[in-house]
């Protein structure tokens, strides 16, 4: 039986539908090898058998490779730009806006948006779409329960208004939860919706190869309506923005022509 990296990613795709060739290989290989070591296996073929037979380990492995760390209002100064500059501009000529958080992990990002939208009375056409490839994080997001450390980035007034505390955990209120529509989606394979006014895709593409990144930014540009805005992560930049019909309107914000 073949035991190469290429063999492994093919078998893994059959098992999970996740295409690891789109992710940066050295990083991915390192993460996978360290996981295999901690699971006590050395060969890819043994690892595939283990993943196939042990649902618990399989779930842990998915969590490990999709790297789903998130925070409320991650990079607070960029959220200030969103609130004070980008959103007011977007709603100037619109009855309401359509918003999508792509790669939403455990929900901190779409819930941050929902709280801001509620607080600033931003008109929205429909619920905020929040998608991720990992069903496990989506299940957590729907529950909306976070530790006290997890809610550190939430402004105190929002914490009082939009969370219910129970011991060391905080649950996001029903009114905020119902503003978000969580759906499983693989952004590399699935078809995107259209006419979004605001798309957030932050801290996801860092794991992808340059080619995958470019393909993805093209898909996001197409999914935006004219004048719609793409908000990206604080270590990211879109080099071919002009070719995609995007222009930078603030650091980490790109607007479609
Ligand atoms: C580091 S988290 C970013 C969470 C949030 N956007 C933020 O900035 O705090 C990256 C998320 O991207 C998701 N992800 C990775 N590959 C994906 C794919 N192909 N399609 C959709 N989501 C993906 C992971 O499951 C993970 O939850």
Please list the residue range(s) of the chain that carry CATH number 3.40.50.150.
Answer: 76-146+173-256
Pocket test for ligand 1, best of 62, 63, 132, 213 (most atoms within 8 A of CB): 132
The closest-lying atom of ligand 1 relative to the alpha carbon of residue 105 is 27
Name residues of the chain where pLDDT drops below 50. Answer: none
Q: Quick one: 224 exposed, middle or buried, by C-beta within 10 A (0-12, 13-18, 19+)?
A: buried
Q: State the distance from the centre of ligand 1 to the C-alpha of 245, rounded, in angstroms.
A: 25
Q: Give the closest residue (by CA) to ligand 1 atom 26.
A: 68
Q: State the distance from the centre of ligand 1 to the C-alpha of 72, rounded, in angstroms.
A: 14
Q: Give the closest residue (by CA) to ligand 1 atom 24.
A: 66
- The verdict on the CB of residue 103 being under 6 Å from ligand 1 is yes
pLDDT at 59: 87
Q: State the distance from the centre of ligand 1 to the C-alpha of 231, rounded, in angstroms.
A: 14
**What is the third-level CATH fold of 76-146+173-256?**
Rossmann fold (3.40.50)
The closest-lying atom of ligand 1 relative to the alpha carbon of residue 187 is 20
* Of residues 246, 96, 115, the one with CA closest to residue 178: 115
pLDDT at 1: 57
- The verdict on the CB of residue 212 being under 6 Å from ligand 1 is no
- The verdict on the CB of residue 202 being under 6 Å from ligand 1 is yes
The closest-lying atom of ligand 1 relative to the alpha carbon of residue 189 is 19
Q: Per-residue pLDDT tens for 105-151?
A: 999 999 999 999 999 999 999 999 999 999 989 999 999 999 999 99
pLDDT at 206: 87
pLDDT at 22: 92
pLDDT at 207: 87
- The verdict on the CB of residue 64 being under 6 Å from ligand 1 is no
The closest-lying atom of ligand 1 relative to the alpha carbon of residue 19 is 19
Sign of dihedral through CA atoms 65, 54, 133, 118?
negative
* Of residues 178, 174, 221, 202, the one with CA closest to residue 73: 202
Q: What is the pTM of this model?
A: 0.91
């Amino acid at each position: 039986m073949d035991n190469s990296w290429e063999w492994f990613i093919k078998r893994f795709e059959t098992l999970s539908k996740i295409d690891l060739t789109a992710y940066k290989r050295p990083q991915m290989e390192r993460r996978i090898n360290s996981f295999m070591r901690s699971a006590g296996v050395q060969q890819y073929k043994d690892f595939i058998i283990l993943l196939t037979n042990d649902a618990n380990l399989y779930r842990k492995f998915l969590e490990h490779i999709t790297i789903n760390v998130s925070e409320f209002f991650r990079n607070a100064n960029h959220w200030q730009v969103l609130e004070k500059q980008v959103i007011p501009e977007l709603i100037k000529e619109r009855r309401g806006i359509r918003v999508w958080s792509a790669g939403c992990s455990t929900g901190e990002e779409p819930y941050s948006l929902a709280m801001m939208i509620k607080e600033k009375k931003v008109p929205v056409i429909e619920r905020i779409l929040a998608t991720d490839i990992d069903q496990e994080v989506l299940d957590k997001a729907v529950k909306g329960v976070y530790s006290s450390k997890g809610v550190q980035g939430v402004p105190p007034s929002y914490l009082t208004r939009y969370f219910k505390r129970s011991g060391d955990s905080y649950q996001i209120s029903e009114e905020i939860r119902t503003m978000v529509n969580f759906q499983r989606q693989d952004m590399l394979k699935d078809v995107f919706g259209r006419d979004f006014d605001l798309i957030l895709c932050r801290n996801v593409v860092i794991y992808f190869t340059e080619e995958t990144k470019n393909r993805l930014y093209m898909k996001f540009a197409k999914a935006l309506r004219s004048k719609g805005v793409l908000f990206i992560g604080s270590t990211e930049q879109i080099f071919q923005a002009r070719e995609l019909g995007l222009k930078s309107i603030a650091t980490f914000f790109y607007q479609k022509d």
